[in-house]
Amino acid sequence: MTMKTIAAICLRASLAGAAALLAAGPGNAQDGAKRTYINASQLQGHPYLLDSLLGMDYAQSKFGVTVERVGPQGWDPVAGAQAVEQAVARKPDGIITTLWEPGGVPGIRRAMEQGIPVVVIEAVTADNGGALTFIGLDNYQAGVDTAKELIKRGGAEGKLAVSGNWGASNTDAKLQGLTDYLKANSNWEIVGKVDDKATTSTAIDAAKAMFNTYPDITGVIGLDSSSGSGICLGAEELEKDIKDLTVIVHDREDSVLECIADGVIDATIVNKTALQAYMAVQMLEAYNDQKTGLAAVPISADNKAAGVNPFPSAIFMGTEVIDKENVEKFMRANLPKF
C-alpha cells in the first residue's frame, strides 16, 4: 500500500464522518477552558508506547490540556474496541486511538457522528472509520526504508529471515514494502518468516526457532516493537554470535538500544512516535480552538455545508535510523520529562 493509496483510503472513509462532525460544531469545552482528551488504545502497558506517552505529556505541558488513558495493557482487540466505546460515552473533547486492527472502527464512527473528533495514530486499516485525520508512518514506505538500510549495510544479496506480528495492519504493510523493494533492487532472498506476536517472550522463542531453522541466513529483519529484543536476546540465550549477520529492526525498546550499543544489532528504523502523539493533541486543539481557524480555512464557501473535512486526511511522519553513532541520544535515561 503506497502513501497515495493510504491517503486516498483515509479521504474516502472520512467524508461522511467529517460532514457529521462539522455539522455538530466544536467540542464540549469552550475556548480558554481546560480540555480533556482520551487516549483509548490497546497495549497501554507496552514499552513501545512510552515515546507516544512522552509526546502526550509534552502536549499537555504546551497546550494546558489533560490526556487520559483507557484500554488494556496488552494485545486485546475486544477490550481495545470497548475502550473506544467507553471514551465515546464520556463525551470528551477528543479521542486518540490506534487501528492495528479494525475493532475500534464502529466506536470511531459513533464519536464522529456525535461531534467528538477522533485522531488515529500508528496504523490505519482499510477503513479508518472516518476519523478526522491519520497521523503516523506510511508503513509501506517504512518497509522500503528498511530494505534500503539492509542493502546499505549488508550488500545487495543474501538470505534473509523476517520476524513480525503478522496480521497487524502496519506490520503487514511494512513487510510488503520490504519485499517489493528487495525484489526489484537486490538479490536478497527471504527464506523464512516467524511470528513474534509483538511480545518480548514470544519474540525470544520465535527468534530461537528462526536461528535453528535457518542456520545459513546472512541477514535478519524485525518489523515490530518486540522483534529486535527477541532477536538479540534469543541469540544470547542460544549463545549464538550474530555480529556477522546484518540485523535491521524496528522501534526502540530499551533492550534494542542496548543491543545496538553493544554492536549486536546494526540499526533500528523508528517512527517519530513522540511527534505523532504531540500532533494528535495539536490537531484536536486545532479543531476545538476557534482562534486557530483551521475549521474555517476557505476550502469552499462553507465547509460545513459542503461536507468538507478541513483537516489533512493523513500526516506521515517519515522514519529515522538509530545506529551505534547516535544511539546514546535515544536512550531513555537521556530523554526529557514533562
Residues 56 and 173 in one domain: no
- Which CATH number belongs to the domain containing residue 11 in this structure? 3.40.50.2300
**Tell me, what's the pLDDT at 123?**
81
Share the mean pLDDT of the chain.
90
Range 221-239 average pLDDT: 97
**84 grid coordinates:** 473506544
Range 280-287 average pLDDT: 95
Residue 266 lies in a domain: no
pLDDT category at 195 given cuts 50, 70, 90 is: very high
Instruction: Identify whether the C-beta of residue 133 lies closer than 8 Å to the C-beta of residue 10.
Output: yes
Residue 77 and residue 104: Cα distance in Å, rounded?
8
Range 109-136 average pLDDT: 87
Range 76-88 average pLDDT: 95
Give how many domains the chain has, as a whole number: 2
Residue 331 lies in a domain: no
Range 257-286 average pLDDT: 97
> Does the structure show a pLDDT above 70 at 206?
yes
Instruction: Identify whether the C-beta of residue 80 lies closer than 8 Å to the C-beta of residue 103.
Output: yes
As a dihedral over the C-alpha atoms of residue 175, residue 178, residue 184, residue 185, rounded to 10 degrees, the angle is -160
> Does pTM top 0.75 for this prediction?
yes
Residue 242 and residue 218: Cα distance in Å, rounded?
9
Provide the CB-side half-sphere exposure for 125 (13 A, CA).
18
Residue 24 lies in a domain: yes
Residue 112 lies in a domain: yes
Residues 101 and 219 in one domain: no
Residue 314 and residue 119: Cα distance in Å, rounded?
10
Residues in a beta bridge with 219: 160, 246
Strands lying side by side in the sheet with 267-271: 187-195, 157-164, 219-222, 246-250, 267-271, 319-323
Q: Which residue has the cell 541469540?
A: 235
Strands lying side by side in the sheet with 36-40: 66-70, 36-40, 94-98, 118-121, 133-136, 314-316
Distance of CA 129 to the CA centre of its chain: 17
Residues 196 and 296 in one domain: no
pLDDT category at 243 given cuts 50, 70, 90 is: very high
Residues 25 and 117 in one domain: yes
Domain that holds residue 189: 139-261
Range 240-260 average pLDDT: 96
